[in-house]
Structure 1
Amino acid sequence: MSLGFSINATVADISHIASWPSSWNHKYSSMATVAIPTVHDNLDHIRWKHIDGSLHDFSVSLVWDCIRPRSNIVVWFSVVWFSQCIPRHAFLMWLSMGERLKTKDRLKAWEVSNGSILLCPLCKCCDDSHSHLFFECTYSCYVWDRAKQLIRIPMDSNKWHEITSTLTPIAVRNVSFVIVVKLVFVASVYFIWQERNNRIFKKAHRTEVKLFDDIFSMVRLKLLSIRFKSLKGVDVMKIIGACKPQGPMLKEGAEVALKWHQCDSMTDVMDKSGLSITPSCNAFDFQAHP
Structure 2
Amino acid sequence: MRPYGCIADRVMLRTITFWNRGVTCVLISYGLKNFTWLLGILSVRGKKHGGLGVFSAKSWNYAAATELLWMIHLKKDLLWIKWIHGNYLQNQNVWEIQGRTYDSWMWRQILKVRDMLINKFGSTDNVKNAIEGCFSKDKLKLSEIYMCLIQPMPKVSWFSTAWDEFLYPKHSFILWLACNQRLLTKDRLCRMGMMSSNQNQCVLCCGHQLETSKHIFFECQFSADVWNRVMDWMRFRWRSCYWDLIISWYSCNLKGRGPLRKLKRMCLSAAVYMIWDERNRRIFQGKMRDPSQIFRAIRLSVFTRVLNVSSHAHMIDLLEVL
Aligned residues: 208
Describe the shift of the 1:146–1:57 C-alpha distance in structure 2 as closer, same or farther (beyond 3 A).
same
CA contact (8 A) 1:84 1:226 kept: no
1:118-171 deviations in Å (ceiling 9; x for gaps): 110111411111111000111101110000000011223211111112111233
Describe the shift of the 1:140–1:51 C-alpha distance in structure 2 as closer, same or farther (beyond 3 A).
farther
CA contact (8 A) 1:184 1:215 kept: yes
CA contact (8 A) 1:85 1:183 kept: yes
RMSD, aligned CA: 3.8
Rounded Cα–Cα distance in structure 2 between residues aligned with 1:107 and 1:87: 25
Describe the shift of the 1:80–1:33 C-alpha distance in structure 2 as closer, same or farther (beyond 3 A).
same
Q: CA deviation at 1:107?
A: 3.9
Counterpart residue number, 1:163 = 246
CA contact (8 A) 2:164 2:265 kept: no
1:54-203 matches, within 5 Å, as 54=135, 56=139, 70-109=152-191, 115-125=197-207, 126-203=209-286
Describe the shift of the 1:68–1:218 C-alpha distance in structure 2 as closer, same or farther (beyond 3 A).
farther
User: Secondary structure in 1 aligned to 2:240?
Assistant: coil
Describe the shift of the 1:135–1:31 C-alpha distance in structure 2 as closer, same or farther (beyond 3 A).
closer
1:207-242 deviations in Å (ceiling 9; x for gaps): 211111111100111112152497xxxx983424xx
User: Structure 2: any 5+ residue segments left out of the alignment?
Assistant: 1-77, 98-129
Counterpart residue number, 1:11 = 79
Rounded Cα–Cα distance in structure 1 between residues aligned with 2:287 and 2:271: 18
TM-score for both structures, normalised by structure 2: 0.55
Structure showing greater radius of gyration is: 1
Q: CA deviation at 1:12?
A: 9.1
Matched, 1:52 2:133: yes
TM-score for both structures, normalised by structure 1: 0.60
CA contact (8 A) 1:50 1:56 kept: no
Rounded Cα–Cα distance in structure 2 between residues aligned with 1:83 and 1:186: 12
CA contact (8 A) 2:134 2:141 kept: no
Rounded Cα–Cα distance in structure 1 between residues aligned with 2:275 and 2:150: 32
User: Secondary structure in 1 aligned to 2:311?
Assistant: coil
CA contact (8 A) 1:133 1:140 kept: yes
Paired amino acid for 1:80: A
Paired amino acid for 2:79: V
